Structure 1
Amino acid sequence: MCCRPEISCDAHGFVSTGTDAIKSGQWNADREPFALETSGPGIFAVGDIRSGSVKCVAASVGEGGIAIALVHRYLQL
């Protein structure tokens, strides 16, 4: 179970992001979510907590870098 009710998780408790956040039925913004954005608009998830991640430190670091760029884009909305 996720720590916040507005954040959707998969059957294993990993956080849904991007298009999976839409599929959860909890996405309520009038735009598509960014790739690492959760079902809570403006809340991003990276690394092992994210559903579909490869569970590798190097990949998590890379996702963190991508998330920084996405947060900047989100703040420009």
Structure 2
Amino acid sequence: MFPEESYWTARVIAELLYMSIFPTFLAYLFWDRAMRKGNIILVASFSYFTPLLSIIISSLYLQVAVKANLWIACGLVIAGAVIC
């Protein structure tokens, strides 16, 4: 109904390239190393905290206040991952 306009500035493109290359590559590298050399049960347990860490890092970087419903949703995702 109200299409959102997007603006592709040099900064946006640079951030997109940075986020798609460096953190993703490092995450896969560290995950692979942890799965090969670490305690697999402990590594898998830490993966349940990904939604929580993503919310914290995103809210700090984007300077956005996190509302209670997001924390509840995060808790439900983590609980669902633990149950399964």
Shared fold per TM-score greater than 0.5: no
Higher helix share: 2
Give me the TM-score of the superposition, normalised by structure 2. Answer: 0.34
TM-score (norm 1): 0.36
The structure with the largest alpha-carbon Rg is: 2
